[in-house]
Amino acid sequence: MKRKHRKRRQRSQVIWVVMVVVLIAMVWSIYELFSPSVSAELTVPPIQKTAKPQEELSKRYKIVIDPGHGGKDPGAEGVSGNHERAYTLALSQKVFDLLQQEPMFEAYMTRTDDTFVHLEDRNQFAHDLDADALVSIHGNTYQDPGVSGTETYYYADDSIPFAREVHERLVEATGFRDRGVRKEGWKVLTGSNNLAILLEVGFLTNPGDEMEMLSESHQDRTAQGIVNGIKDYFANRED
Ligand SMILES: [Zn+2]
């Protein structure tokens, strides 16, 4: 009876030991199963919060297009009786539309209809926007109807390279006589603290220039030339 009892006790001890070993083995295998994924999780690099958002990587240049005159200020009167204010608005709108399609630019206009805008307000508009460039668009006038051609004006020396790039493409597009890049103290230029140029596309007082300037196809070509010149300049600028 006594021996039998001891034997039974020994057997139950063996069962206990086996159970504990099995339990340890199970815990170990479960640990092994999950530990690799835990360590993998820990090796995932942290999110780089210092990376620049996509929109900051490519700078968009702010270009202000300024249709000369407007409202009570008609500007020059062309041979046909058309006013400069209408021509400058029509051409500026085309330049604006083309610029809007270029991912490198943000385009603005100082006026979008036939209203009078003070010269100081045109400068202030560009200043408030912190614009990269102001391009004022005009049609020329002279007492001698024989005078024709394209001129580009700047005032600050900083604007010379910009004036040259746009003028080259503008003359190419208008097909008019090249009257050069000139320095002049037009108020819209002297009051600017950004790049600023003034384009005299052609002479509205010259019958040949005016006839072309009032045609839709010539305006389309001229607008594209101006935009190409602006692109030439800003594509090569390092900032
Ligand atoms: Zn004008």
Q: What is the pLDDT of residues 17-46, one digit of tens each?
A: 667 666 766 766 655 655 544 444 444 444
> What pLDDT sits at residue 236?
85
Q: Which helix (H) or strand (E) holds 7?
A: helix 2-43
Residue 77 · residue 121 · CB < 8 Å: no
> What pLDDT sits at residue 32?
61
- CATH code for residues 61-235: 3.40.630.40
Three-state SS for 32-94 is: HHHHHHHHHHHHCCCCCCCCCCHHHHCCCEEEEEEECCECCECCCECCCCCEHHHHHHHHHHH
Q: Where are the domains of the chain?
A: 1-44, 61-235
Task: Tell me if residue 210 is catalytic.
Answer: no
Ligand 1 centroid, distance to 76 Cα (angstroms): 6
List the single range of 1-5, 29-33, 97-101 with lowest mean pLDDT. 1-5
Q: What is the pLDDT of residues 181-215, one digit of tens each?
A: 999 999 999 999 899 999 999 999 999 999 999 99
Ligand 1 centroid, distance to 68 Cα (angstroms): 5
Q: How far apart (Å, rounded) are the C-alpha atoms in residues 98 and 226?
A: 10
Ligand 1 centroid, distance to 189 Cα (angstroms): 13
Candidate list 200, 210, 212, 238, residue with the active-site label: 200
Q: What is the pLDDT of residues 62-87, one digit of tens each?
A: 999 999 999 999 999 999 999 999 99
Judged by DSSP in three states, 114 sits in coil
> What pLDDT sits at residue 31?
57
Ligand 1 centroid, distance to 139 Cα (angstroms): 6
Judged by DSSP in three states, 199 sits in strand
